[in-house]
Every structure is written in structure tokens, then in C-alpha cells.
Amino acid sequence: MDRTVLITGASSGFGASCARAFAKLGYKLVLTARRKEMLDQLQQELAHETKVCTIVLDVRDREAVAAAFSSLPAEFAEVDLLVNNAGLALGLEPTNIKGVMYCTRAILPGMVERNRGHVVNIGSIAGSWPYPGGNVYGASKAFVQQFSRNLRADLLGSAVRVTNIEPGMAETEFSKVRFKWDEQKAHRVYTGTEPLLPEDIAEIVVWVASVPPRVNINSVEVMSVWQAWGPLAVHRSEAG
């Protein structure tokens, strides 16, 4: 298989698991993240399975993204699959929106020109279902959902595919980052339950990328069996 996948936020979590899954299938890997040490470790781990190109990159920097992706080594230049995974849940963190837009804008023209390719965005159930304290994060993931839908609409007539993966509760560095690396506070999020694992999402990403070229998986909403929708919240006053 002579195919190339570019994964953002590849140093850990969903991104690293996707890298491992696609390496087993023989995909060439372009891996980006902000943490060089972790990228280097992942490259060393996977180098025996496939060719790996790593880029230390902050996807919020539009010029840096354009420069990095326009100067990929020749053997990695034709990206077949873009996995927009980089994202955070800190306050007004713009990664979830800017990173998706900038990376897609840089890679998509080549896909359209070749009339093949696939953009997989890692969204969240928070883009559809609100929860207390998740207002800005949920809004950013709602953007990813609508961006994915509208992108596919704009690509009608081409063979370029777009998919939005929407995980529920998953045990990654997500909670550690949200709680500023308070390990105990992050661990309590998953106490007494069995959340999704990064490997579960990687398996789904591989699946949506492996269906016949005529098939476009628009979106996949996935939760652990330990998670489901709750009743609508109702506030009751003490007087009531």
C-alpha cells in the first residue's frame, strides 16, 4: 500500500493510536504535534513498520501550517488521508476551530486535484449534546460538525470524502489537560466506569477510511456502553 496519512495532534491519545493503526496497514505517516520529545518517541516506535515524517507544529499558526505542508518531502507530499485530531478543552482555546480549518485548507487542494482523498475530523458528542461547563468546548465541536457537513457539500462532484468522528467519554490526556495536569482530579472523571480507549477510536477511523471509494461515512457518534443520554435537567425551587 502506497498511501499517506497525515495526523495532527499525534503525540498521544487518539492521534498516536491512529498512527499505530495505520502503520500496521503500511500507510506512510506524517505526524504533527507540539511536543517534539513524544513525536520522536513515536517515530522510533513505528519506524520499523513504515516510513514516518514528523513535524513539530502548532496548528493554530496558519502560516506555519501552510509552510510545513507545502514543503513535505516528495514521498509524503501526496496526502491521501488527513486526520484532524489536534484539539483541546481549555477555555477559549482556538485549536478545535483554527487547526481544523488551516490544516484542511492546506491539504484539500491537492486531494481535489487528484480527485481522491479523505478528511477525517475528530469531533465530539459535545457538538450535539450539551453538558454543564462545556459551553465553549461544545460550541467548537459543533463547528467541527457543521464544517464537516458543509465541506462535503462543497466537494459534491469530486471523489474526496469527509467524515466527522464524534466520541463520547474517552480516557486520554483530555481530562489531564482540562484539569491542568491534576492527576487525581482527572482520574475521578473515569472512576467506577469504563470509558472509550484511544484504540477504539483509531479502529473506527481505520474503518471509515477502508470502505469502498464510492462510500462516504458522514459521521460516527460513539459512546461507551457506560455512557448514555440523561433526562433533561429541571430546576426546582425550594419553595416548590
SS3 content of the chain, % helix, strand, coil (to 5): 40, 15, 40
Q: Is 229 part of any domain?
A: no
Q: Judge whether 8 lies within some domain.
A: yes
Range of the domain at 46: 4-222
- Is position 164 within any domain? yes
The dihedrals phi and psi of 83, each to the nearest 5 degrees, come to -110, 105
What's the whole-model pTM score?
A: 0.92
Q: Give burial (CB, 10 Å; 0-12/13-18/19+) of 135.
A: exposed
Active site residues: 137
Let me know if residue 230 belongs to a domain: no
Q: How much is the mean pLDDT over the chain?
A: 91
Greatest mean pLDDT among 25-39, 130-144, 160-174 lies in 25-39
State how many domains the chain has: 1
For 198-213, the pLDDT digits (tens) are 999 999 999 999 999 9
CA 206 vs CA 23, 101, 137, 200, 214: distances in Å: 11, 22, 26, 10, 16
pLDDT at 89 over 90: no
- Decide if 50 is inside a domain: yes
State yes or no: pLDDT of 134 exceeds 80.
yes
Kindly give the interhelix angle for 62-70 and 100-114, rounded to the nearest 10 degrees: 30
The reply to whether 184 falls in a domain is: yes
For residue 228, being part of any structural domain is answered with no
Does 232 reside within a domain? no
pLDDT per residue as tens digits for the range 142-163: 999 999 999 999 999 999 999 9
CATH number of the CATH domain containing 27: 3.40.50.720
CB of 103 closer than 8 Å to CB of 69:
yes
